[in-house]
Chains A and B, each alone.
Chain A
Amino acid sequence: MNALFQRSWSPYVVGAGIGGLSWLSFATAKKPLGITTPFESTAARLGQLAPQASGVNAYLVKNDEVPRLDWEWALAAGVLLGSAISANASGDTDHGSVPRTWARTFGPSRATRFAGAFIGGAMMMFGARMAKGCTSGHGISGTLQLAASSWLFAPIMAITGGFVSRRLLGKGGK
């Protein structure tokens, strides 16, 4: 249990742990680890509250995915829970809003950071749903299954992310 109170583990230990966890999820739930599918189904569910504005009915007609409260949804909730337990056990909590590297380029304004985070989150999720996966679903689960889609997604995502972050923060980030 001592390990739970440690702040940082080796990336190799954590990586091996995540790899082992993927065996477990394939053996038990028969599913790969992924995060963004429940965001799409939650959005579809929320859309049903205002079907006119959200255009959700056209989505439901054309899509075989339906709103669900399922294993994948519980998985995403679990990530938040597990992180909170781990961070509190080791005193590694952080209630900040503006990261240092960000502030060096964009200044200490919370409003600016929140705007960037919101737009970035929206673009990222839109892209993840277009590609049907994220850093977990494609980047880990898909590449380990040797899926062609994931081996296309991961390098394009990494190169774009590297390029954009260099353009945005390259100088100020030093």
Chain B
Amino acid sequence: MIVDSPLELALGLGTGAVFGALLQKGQVGKYEVILDQLLLREGRVLRTMGTAVAVGSVGVHALARAGYTRLQVKPLRLGGVIPGAVLFGTGLALLGYCPGTTLTAIGEGRRDAMVGALGMLTGALLYVRAYPTLKPMLEAGDFGKVTFPQATKTSPWPWVAALGAAVLAGTLAFRKR
């Protein structure tokens, strides 16, 4: 087993603690808030995620451009991503917490989230078990670790600006609800 240095682990724990506190203060670790979003009654989850993506994209692309980091994207493999997203959405509707907000809800004390986390661990075990069989399907339709700017040979900045504008427009259009 690979074990990172104590410094690296402390950094992860600290970053995670800030992440968890933000999710908790944002009230998104609550079943009702997530279901209200899925049923399109209220938009707190989407507002939070939209703002995070718009703000995050500016800084992360700037850091990458300046050579302080490198982008790390997941490969576009249709055989894994599409059925994975369908299974994920179905499970999310049943559990009512996503993986990060399951941990947030456990921090608040929710019993059903604790059972959900046991289910998640079981799902991971089943995945490990099924992986050798599933591998050919998971890797079907592989386009690699591709981003939109790469694929279109364009600068990321128009994309970042468009993303920010879309989030701002969405926020203004739906500011009442």
Q: Which residues of A contact B (CB under 8 A)?
A: 3-4, 6-9, 11-12, 14-33, 35-36, 39-40, 42-47, 54-56, 58-59, 61-63, 66-87, 90, 92-102, 110, 113-114, 116-154, 156-166, 168-170, 173
Alpha-carbon distance A148/B80, docked complex (angstroms): 13
Contact indicator B87/A146 (Cβ below 8 Å) = no
Contact indicator A139/B24 (Cβ below 8 Å) = no
Task: Collect the chain A residues with CB atoms within 8 Å of residue B92's CB.
Answer: 120, 124, 135, 157, 161
Contact indicator B54/A123 (Cβ below 8 Å) = no
**B interface size (C-beta, 8 A):** 128
Contact indicator B40/A162 (Cβ below 8 Å) = yes
Sort A-B residue pairs by CB-CB distance and give the 7 closest, nearest first.
A78-B16, A15-B51, A83-B107, A121-B119, A19-B55, A120-B94, A160-B89
> 7 extra interchain contacts, Cβ-Cβ under 8 A, other than A25-B15, A130-B80?
A27-B63, A47-B129, A63-B131, A75-B19, A83-B24, A99-B31, A127-B88
CB of B165 within 8 Å of the partner chain: no
Contact indicator A130/B127 (Cβ below 8 Å) = yes
The digit string for B47-77, where 1 denotes a CB below 8 A from any CB of A, is 1111111111111110110001111111111
Closest CB-CB distance, A142 to chain B, in whole Å? 6
Number of A-B contacts (CB under 8 A): 535
Can you list 20 A-B contacts (CB < 8 A)? A14-B51, A16-B52, A19-B54, A21-B18, A22-B60, A23-B56, A23-B59, A40-B128, A59-B132, A79-B100, A85-B21, A101-B35, A122-B122, A135-B49, A135-B92, A145-B61, A157-B92, A160-B88, A161-B89, A163-B89
Contact indicator A79/B147 (Cβ below 8 Å) = no
A15 and B93 contact, Cβ closer than 8 Å, known pairs A59-B128, A79-B104, A138-B74: no
Contact for A119 among B18, B63, B119, B130, CB less than 8 A: B119
Alpha-carbon distance A80/B19, docked complex (angstroms): 9
Closest CB-CB distance, A91 to chain B, in whole Å? 11
B41's closest neighbor in chain A, by CB?
A: A173
Contact for A157 among B59, B75, B89, CB less than 8 A: B89
Contact indicator B115/A114 (Cβ below 8 Å) = yes
Task: Collect the chain B residues with CB atoms within 8 Å of residue A153's CB.
Answer: 81, 84-85, 88
A83 and B21 contact, Cβ closer than 8 Å, known pairs A63-B131, A73-B12, A140-B52: yes
Contact for A158 among B18, B83, B89, B100, CB less than 8 A: B89
Closest CB-CB distance, B93 to chain A, in whole Å? 4
CB of B169 within 8 Å of the partner chain: no
Task: Collect the chain A residues with CB atoms within 8 Å of residue B96's CB.
Answer: 99, 102, 117, 120
Task: Collect the chain A residues with CB atoms within 8 Å of residue B93's CB.
Answer: 120, 160-162, 164-165, 168
Alpha-carbon distance A101/B38, docked complex (angstroms): 12
Closest CB-CB distance, B133 to chain A, in whole Å? 9
